[in-house]
Amino acid sequence: MTYCVGLFLEEGLVFLSDTRTNAGVDHISTFSKMQVEEVAGDRVLTILSAGNLAITQAVWSRLQEGVWLNGERHTLRNVPNLFHAAQLVGQAVRDVYAADNPALAQQGIGFDCSLLLGGQISGAPHRLFLIYATGNFIEATADTPFLQIGEIKYGKPILDRGVTFATPLPDAIKLVLISMDGTLRSNLTVGLPVDLLLYRRDTLHVALRRRIAEDDPYLLMVRANWSRALREAYQAMPRPDWPLA
């Protein structure tokens, strides 16, 4: 399992992904689930992936080699806009499904794959998409400014309460780290280190890309302060006045 989150904000985009892969207690490894295509001055595209690692790596490899879409072969480095990029990723997923699913089905293995795609291409606005295992997709909006894949339930409450389209990027970093920390505490199949990427709208270059490990001072501060704030918040609430037998 994994946990990845992308925020679609007025100021830009924030991505965070864990790195743990789990094929049983004897097969736990670290793999980056974040891939970036950056052409300075032209485009920045980021993909986060969840699901079967062999499937998601095959999708990325096909995107690197080129995928046929609408009668033409494209990569993420030459698609004209983000909508076509989402279509391209969806087609790559379908191509991998066509090639690999018969063998997977014979072994009783499901086709498990989901991806977040976000970024900006020169001349168009920044956008964020979630691509499903069927190759279709949805898009984040100002009303729904974040998307998640993988083990989403533990990190969702803080995002529901804290994230709006107007959230400043520095605050967004805090929120995704709190969201990730809640998931790390509650699910052993999600693990450190985590990969963080920040993109400022209209800059067409990555503003920040950082791998955050267990001993990262800022992560440790966020963990400690958030835990203390939660304890203080519930302790400050009045106790119920219900009769207790």
Q: Residue 235: pLDDT above 70?
A: yes
Q: If you average pLDDT over residues 16-24, what whole number do you get?
A: 84
Question: How far does the chain reach from its first CA to its final CA, in angstroms?
Answer: 44
Q: Residue 1: pLDDT above 90?
A: no
Residue 113 lies in a domain: yes
The model carries a pTM of 0.96
Residue 241 lies in a domain: no
Residue 55 lies in a domain: yes
Residue 239 lies in a domain: no
Q: Residue 27: pLDDT above 80?
A: no
Residue 19 lies in a domain: yes
Give tens-digit pLDDT for 124-163: 999 999 999 999 999 999 999 999 999 999 999 999 999 9
The pLDDT assigned to 24 comes to 58
- Domain enclosing residue 206, as ranges: 3-233
On the question of a cis peptide bond just before residue 80, with omega within 30 degrees of 0, the verdict is no
Q: What is the CATH number of the domain that holds 195?
A: 3.60.20.10
Domains in the chain, number? 1
Q: If you average pLDDT over residues 4-24, what whole number do you get?
A: 92
Residue 203 lies in a domain: yes
> 25: pLDDT confidence band, cut at 50, 70 and 90?
low
Residue 40 lies in a domain: yes
